[in-house]
Amino acid sequence: MPHTTQLYQHVPETRWPIVYSPRYNITFMGLEKLHPFDAGKWGKVISFLKEEKLLSDGMLVEAREASDEDLLVVHTRRYLNELKFLFERVEGISRATIVDLDAHQGNGHERDFMGDKRVYIMDVYNRHIYPGDRFAKQAIRRKVELEWGTEDDEYLDKVERNLQKALQEHLPDVLVYNAGTDILEGDRLGGLSISPQGIVKRDELVFRVVRGRQVPILMVTSGGYQKRTARIIADSILNLYSLGLIGSESPRVSAQNSDTPLLPPEVP
């Protein structure tokens, strides 16, 4: 019997390629304030963008939650993996690249895709901090290990050079960009020393390089253990918009520029 789902929806062209729900912000009787991770930063990012008149509620896309029945079409209960779902359900996606620029090694997706030649993983991380998963490192196709206190110039040079090489080695149908902000100076868990301006510049160069290769890019935010990261994420989005690298339409993307939309126009 064919499986029916409510996951897919038509997204009007007036909507931005920004997926957000207020449910992303975690609260639990105020106890979340005791944790170094700002569990409400996504709501703050959206608030900052609204204040700048960049968007309104009607311009956002809210994802529908997958039911157990949806997930079990392609996964066992023991093993659910979102990107493999992408391979099997989205037409035209057969090769993917993960660019993980969170300060920590991305051992979760590395273990998930161990031995899967469809997925190319580039990981740039502080070599001295958690998790230090040697087994998972075998899945990394382009590994960039950083020292304590790495600063802007060295960091941005290594990111750009290795991203160019990664796309030469494996040109994907889609690139997933993990834009962690725990690289920010002063982050005790990340241990790096990248300035707020360095983070904005990092996101810009990733979008320029990837879109210059005509590759759709999906940016997700992750680590970032200081309260000021929400403002930095918002500033980065504003910068990408001002440069024509994101938006409902992005007409100003050039040689290091492309006219590739951030998301495919339709998902089957």
* CATH number for the domain harbouring residue 159: 3.40.800.20
Q: Do 118 and 222 lie in a common domain?
A: yes
Q: What is the pLDDT of residue 256?
A: 40
Q: What is the pLDDT of residue 268?
A: 34
Q: How far apart are CA 50 and CA 261, in angstroms?
A: 23
With tokens 């093993």, the residue in question is 79
Using the predicted structure, report yes or no on whether residue 156 has a pLDDT greater than 50. yes
Quote the percentage of the chain above a pLDDT of 70: 84
Q: How far apart are CA 219 and CA 7, in angstroms?
A: 20
Q: What is the pLDDT of residue 240?
A: 97
Strand partners, 194: 184
Using the predicted structure, report yes or no on whether residue 249 has a pLDDT greater than 70. no
Using the predicted structure, report yes or no on whether residue 207 has a pLDDT greater than 60. yes
Q: Do 26 and 110 lie in a common domain?
A: no
**Domain count of the chain?**
2
Q: What is the pLDDT of residue 78?
A: 62
Q: Do 135 and 46 lie in a common domain?
A: no
- Whether the bond into 172 is cis, omega within 30 of 0: no
More confident residue, 163 or 264: 163
More confident residue, 222 or 145: 145
- How many alpha carbons fall within 13 Å on the CB side of residue 85? 14
Within a domain: residue 108?
yes
Using the predicted structure, report yes or no on whether residue 175 has a pLDDT greater than 60. yes
- What is the average per-residue pLDDT within 19-40? 79
* Residue 31 pLDDT class (50, 70, 90 cuts): low
Q: Do 148 and 227 lie in a common domain?
A: yes
Q: How far apart are CA 192 and CA 152, in angstroms?
A: 10
The boundaries of the domain holding residue 236 are: 82-243
Q: Do 47 and 112 lie in a common domain?
A: no
Average pLDDT of the chain, as a whole number:
86
More confident residue, 116 or 66: 116
Within a domain: residue 266?
no
